[in-house]
Amino acid sequence: MTQTVLVVGSGGREHALAWALSRDPGVTQVHIAPGNPGTATVGTNHPVDALDPDAVAELAVQLNAGLVIVGPEAPLVAGVSDAVRARGIPVFGPSAAAARLEGSKAFAKEIMSAAGVPTADGRLCLDMGEVVAALDEFGAPYVVKDDGLAAGKGVIVTDDRDAALRHAAGCRAVIIEEYLDGPEVSLFALSDGTTVLPFEPAQDFKRAGDGDAGPNTGGMGAYTPLPWAPPGLVADVVRTVIQPTVDELRRRGTPFVGLVYAGLALTRRGVRVVEFNARFGDPETQPLLTRLRTPLGEVLLAAATGNLAGQPPLDW
C-alpha cells in the first residue's frame, strides 16, 4: 500500500492516530483536518471544519487521499463519512445511520435487544412521571442518562435522588438504568461491516478528580494491558457483544464500517455493555497505539474496503 491518509479531528486521539500512521511504511503522507500542534509534528494540518461534510470531502479529493479516518463522534453523526464515501474514497468511520449506535442511547438499546447483547436494564422516559417511576423501580445508586451525544458528560451515577431528578429534568429524553457494579473495560474492534478484528482491552477513568471522584468526563486517562482481565475476555466479548451487534446493523441495511467501541462492566452476573461508541476511544487510543505493531494504515484500509476476512490477528 502507498497511500495519502487524511485524519479528521483535533484531539489527543487524532494525534495518536496520525503518529501511528506516520510510522506505517505504506503511508506516504499524513494530513489532519483541522489537527492540533501535536498532529503538526507528524503530518500536515488543514484548517477545515471537521463538522462540515462537504468541506472534508472536498479536501480529501484535493489531497487525492486513499483513505480517510474520522476520529470523533460529532463528524460521524453529521455525515462526514457518507460525504467522503460518496466521492468514492475509502473511509474508516461509520455512516451517520450506523453511528447512531453511539449517537442515540435508545437506538443502541434497541440494537442490543434485537441482537441479544447483554446490557443494563433501562427505561426510556419522556416525562418526569416516568422518571420518578423508573428511579423507584431500580433504586439507588441511580443511573440517569441523556439520550444523545454529550461528550461523556450526559450521565450521572448518584445515591442522591434529588440530584438524579435534577439531572433528568435537564434532559430532552432520558434513560434510567439499573446500576452495574464491577470494573469497566474498553474493548475496541475494527469492523468492515461483516468481519471484526479485536484490539486488546484497555481501561479508562472517567471521573474528573483524583481517586476516581467528581463528575464524569469523556475520559481522564487510560492504560493497557490489563493484567487482571479474565482469560478469554476478548473472545467472549467478540462472540456475545461485538459480532452480534455488527450482524444486526448489517441486517438492517446499515453496515458498520469503522471502530466498534464496547464500554463494558464486568459485573458479578457477567459482562454487560455500558455503552457503545462508534469510533476510537479517547484516551484509550493513546496507550493502545503505542503497543500496536501491525501497520495501522494498512489494517484500517482493509476495514474500510471490506477486506478484514483473512487478516491475521493484530500484533502487539
The contact set with ligand AMP (CB under 6 A) reads 120, 143, 145, 152, 155, 157, 177, 179-180, 184, 206, 216, 263, 274-275
Which of 26, 34, 141, 218 is close enough to bind ligand GLY by CB under 6 A?
A: 218
Which of 3, 277, 286, 314 is close enough to bind ligand GLY by CB under 6 A?
A: 277
CB 41 to ligand AMP: min, Å = 31
Does residue 281 interact with ligand GLY by CB under 6 A? yes
Give me the long-range contacts of 24-27 (CB less than 8 A, separation at least 24). 24/295, 24/296, 24/297, 24/298, 25/295, 26/1, 26/2, 26/295, 26/297, 26/298, 27/1, 27/3, 27/295, 27/297
Interacting partner of 218 out of ligand GLY, ligand AMP, none (Cβ under 5 to 8 A depending on kind):
ligand GLY
CB of 146 or CB of 192, closer to ligand AMP: 146
Does residue 284 interact with ligand GLY by CB under 6 A? yes
Interacting partner of 284 out of ligand GLY, ligand AMP, none (Cβ under 5 to 8 A depending on kind):
ligand GLY
CB of 51 or CB of 149, closer to ligand AMP: 149
Interacting partner of 248 out of ligand GLY, ligand AMP, none (Cβ under 5 to 8 A depending on kind):
none
Beta-carbon contacts of 227 under 8 Å, excluding residues fewer than 6 positions away, are: none
Cβ contact 32:68 at 8 Å: no
Site for ligand GLY in 157-216 (CB under 6 A): 204
Which residues of this chain interact with ligand GLY, rule CB under 6 A? Answer: 152, 204, 218-219, 277, 281-282, 284
